Amino acid sequence: MTDDNNPNPKPKKSNVYTRTGDKGKSSLYNGERRSKTDDIFNALGTVDELSSCIGIANHYCKKVENGLEDKLVEIQCKLIEVGSNIATPRNSSHTSKLSFTSFDEENVNLLEAWIDNLDSQLPPLKNFILPSGGESAVFLHQCRSVCRRAERVTVPLVEAEVAEQSVGKYLNRLSDFFFVAARYAAMFEKQIENYYEQRRDDKESNLVKRELSKQ
């Protein structure tokens, strides 16, 4: 019997897996093979994790149409470019690959403009915020803290001139964006934001709850 007549043909092998990474090594964008324990893969993996968190946050932002949706997708695209920069060591890659994966500092300026715009609408902050404020806000806070970890694991690569400085700046500014975006999302949904307030009398709770109101 030929394959054409087989009622249950085996599906064609997927190219999702090549098995080349089974022994714990993988490829950088310049073709170099390194252990998956390398700092570069740690940073790439953390940036990828951040993008997944943004996907969750955006799922909730879309439900309420709070206006952050397009920005979050735009950031996910930029994180692909951050990953390409990290995966192409500045100090050991061909010039053509370097220029193709350069990360434009203009991306940082755009984030700053978004931060300024959102922050100008928020009430000023006097206390530490506890991640709170509804579904969109809490996932945006998670994005903020995962982003800070992505920054921590990327900084040594920037210091070693493996990744560009613009990438370090972008991740640093991005956690600030998530902070204001989380507060904005809570305000948009008229949710309660929880704050920590230091009290002298330790019988009293440190928790303060406040609804955010538009400035």
Ligand X SMILES: Nc1ncnc2c1ncn2[C@@H]1O[C@H](COP(=O)(O)OP(=O)(O)OP(=O)(O)O)[C@@H](O)[C@H]1O
Contacts with ligand X, residue ranges (CB under 6 A) = 17-22, 26-27, 36, 41, 44-45, 87
Burial of 128 (0-12, 13-18, 19+ CB in 10 A): exposed
State the nearest-atom distance from the C-beta of 42 to ligand X, in Å.
7
Give the Cα separation of 39 and 47 in Å (integer): 12
- The type of residue at 60 is Y
Beta carbons within 8 Å of 169's beta carbon, 6+ residues apart: 105, 108
Residue nearest ligand X, Cβ-based: 21
State the nearest-atom distance from the C-beta of 37 to ligand X, in Å.
9
Nearer of residues 21 and 67 to ligand X, judged by Cβ:
21
Nearer of residues 76 and 191 to ligand X, judged by Cβ:
76
State the nearest-atom distance from the C-beta of 169 to ligand X, in Å.
22
Phi-psi region of 134 (alpha: psi -120 to 50; beta: other; left: phi over 0): left
Measure CA 155 to chain center: 15
Residues in the chain: 215
- The residue behind tokens 């984030």 is 111
Nearer of residues 13 and 200 to ligand X, judged by Cβ:
13
Nearer of residues 18 and 52 to ligand X, judged by Cβ:
18
Give the Cα separation of 117 and 184 in Å (integer): 10
DSSP state of 33: E
Contact 57, 115 (CB under 8 A): no
Give the Cα separation of 171 and 177 in Å (integer): 10
State the nearest-atom distance from the C-beta of 49 to ligand X, in Å.
9
State the nearest-atom distance from the C-beta of 20 to ligand X, in Å.
5
Nearer of residues 18 and 109 to ligand X, judged by Cβ:
18
State the nearest-atom distance from the C-beta of 97 to ligand X, in Å.
13
Phi-psi region of 201 (alpha: psi -120 to 50; beta: other; left: phi over 0): beta
Nearer of residues 45 and 131 to ligand X, judged by Cβ:
45
Contact 84, 29 (CB under 8 A): yes
